[in-house]
Copies of this chain bind each other. A is one copy, B any other.
Amino acid sequence: MSIKKRIVIIGAGFGGLNLARKVDKRLYDVVIVDRNNYHSFPPLFYQVASSGLEPSSISFPLRRELRGRKYRGCVFHLGKVTSVDTAAKKIHTSYETIDYDILVVAAGTTNNFFGIDDLRRHVYTIKSTVEAIRCRNELLDRLERASLCRESDERHRLLTFVVVGGGPAGVEIAGALGEMKRFIVKREYPLLDPSEIKVIIIEGSDALLRNMGERSSADALAGLKQLLVDVQLGRTVKDYDGRTLMFADGTALDTYNVIWTAGVSGVDIDFDGGAAIAGAGKRLPVDGFCRVRGLNDVYAIGDIALMADDAYPKGYPQVAQVALQQGEFLAAVLSDPETIMKPFSYRDKGSMATIGRNRAVVNMGNLHFSGRMAWLVWLFVHLASLLGMRNKVVVFIDWIWNYFTFSGGLRLLFRPRRYPDRTYWDE
């Protein structure tokens, strides 16, 4: 009789949870470590930021999920992983040290500010639930302050909303801001004139949704223009001091509101004192079996893993489908170590993005479609992917509600207070 090995999974996102669910628990004990006590749903963060959905509707308590039969043999530990010692086979979290036999890094990505510290300090971001809540609060605060402000320059800065980055997250949040301008401000902020509100999206390349093909780019451009969003292509941000956004071409733009979606980077974990790995944007280079190159018994899956093949020489896209498929693949590899398998290969099931109500773009293989049909597909796919029946029901209600009332009902500014108790804060 052999003693079970312990797999420690860092991160309970799509990849980590799928692996935990599917790996053979007769062979392994599984410890899931996450900095949050919930699984979150990144594709809808922008709807939290724009008051369309509640944070709780797209979050699912991990301990509740782990009650499920398929997770028997998995335990959850709260903690932010700070470093890994691959010689001693230990990880260090904000609270404790955990031994592993096999380590799987599925910690995802965070914002990349390309070393510009001023940006990090002053922009809003939507790469986590908490960041999205903060963005919602900031946007609502700005509308309230502008309502009370009679000084024209100040009012202008308060009401200029700039989204940096023309990928799906940027296009979706810009679309939501455009709808806010068009449908909500007139009815609910009588002291504001909708025409005072500027929504601008900045993209460094020459197209929105560049990775989704020309037709998607054209649809996104047309959709945002219809929502009176000012689309500025081929512009690169250089710096931002909280008041003035500076561009590489020397021009500038006055605004208090910059939403940064222009870069992602692997979550920062120190391996063996920092010497072991050097990956582009802190992603971990892995081989076709998710093994991190240069390390023993360490695997990586999902957004943080950099895996390339002939079809994707620069690495797979950082999307939920890759993480889910790699989680399943790695579960099979680990559950049946005797069988020699073929390396992982990504099956692209398609990509999609919304641009406001009734409007989305969908790519599935060679099929491209847009408009209301694409929007309905988008709604359905996202609803089906949400964890938990309660969340599906509440999201469905909120979407129906928002559709018929032309407004989200969640414009609630829950400002946290500063409490002295240090335990409460996420530093």
Binding site for B on A (CB under 8 A): 36-38, 54-56, 59, 61, 63-64, 66-67, 75, 77-79, 95-96, 121-122, 129-131, 133-134, 137-138, 140-141, 144-145, 147-148, 187-191, 242, 388, 390, 393-394, 397-398, 401, 407, 409-421, 423-427
Chain B residue at minimal CB-CB distance from A402? B390
Across the interface, which residues of B come within 8 angstroms of A187, CB to CB? 67
Across the interface, which residues of B come within 8 angstroms of A413, CB to CB? 36-38, 78
- Measured in the bound complex, the distance between the Cα atoms of B416 and A134 in whole Å is 8
Asked if A424 and B141 make an inter-chain contact with CB atoms under 8 angstroms apart, the answer reads: yes
- Measured in the bound complex, the distance between the Cα atoms of B425 and A425 in whole Å is 14
Chain B residue at minimal CB-CB distance from A129? B414
Q: Which of B63, B145, B409, B415 meets A95, CB within 8 Å?
A: B145
Asked if A417 and B426 make an inter-chain contact with CB atoms under 8 angstroms apart, the answer reads: yes
Across the interface, which residues of B come within 8 angstroms of A390, CB to CB? 397-398, 401, 409
Assuming the A-B contacts A141-B423, A424-B138, A424-B141, are A61 and B418 also in contact, with contact meaning beta carbons closer than 8 angstroms in the complex? no
This chain: how many copies in the complex?
A: 2
Can you name 24 A-B pairs with beta carbons within 8 Å? A36-B413, A37-B144, A37-B411, A61-B410, A64-B188, A66-B188, A67-B187, A78-B145, A95-B148, A96-B148, A121-B420, A130-B414, A133-B414, A134-B416, A138-B423, A145-B423, A388-B409, A390-B397, A390-B401, A390-B409, A393-B397, A417-B426, A417-B427, A418-B425
Asked if A56 and B424 make an inter-chain contact with CB atoms under 8 angstroms apart, the answer reads: no
Q: Which of B61, B141, B401, B426 meets A409, CB within 8 Å?
A: B61
Q: Which of B37, B242, B394 meets A412, CB within 8 Å?
A: B37
- Measured in the bound complex, the distance between the Cα atoms of B393 and A5 in whole Å is 47
With A130-B416, A416-B416 already in contact, 7 other A-B pairs whose C-beta atoms are closer than 8 Å = A54-B54, A77-B148, A130-B414, A130-B417, A133-B414, A145-B423, A393-B397
Q: Which of B67, B130, B420, B421 meets A188, CB within 8 Å?
A: B67
Closest Cβ of chain B: how far from A77's Cβ, in Å? 6
Chain B residue at minimal CB-CB distance from A140? B37
Chain B residue at minimal CB-CB distance from A96? B148
Assuming the A-B contacts A67-B187, A78-B148, A394-B394, are A415 and B425 also in contact, with contact meaning beta carbons closer than 8 angstroms in the complex? yes
- Measured in the bound complex, the distance between the Cα atoms of B363 and A70 in whole Å is 47
Interface centre among A37, A77, A393, A427 (most CB of B within 10 A): A37
Asked if A188 and B401 make an inter-chain contact with CB atoms under 8 angstroms apart, the answer reads: no
Closest 9 CB pairs of A and B: A415-B426, A63-B188, A416-B416, A78-B144, A61-B411, A37-B413, A38-B412, A417-B426, A54-B56
Asked if A64 and B425 make an inter-chain contact with CB atoms under 8 angstroms apart, the answer reads: no
- Measured in the bound complex, the distance between the Cα atoms of B141 and A95 in whole Å is 12
Closest Cβ of chain B: how far from A69's Cβ, in Å? 13
Across the interface, which residues of B come within 8 angstroms of A56, CB to CB? 54, 56, 410, 412
Chain B residue at minimal CB-CB distance from A389? B401
- Measured in the bound complex, the distance between the Cα atoms of B229 and A95 in whole Å is 30
Closest Cβ of chain B: how far from A72's Cβ, in Å? 11
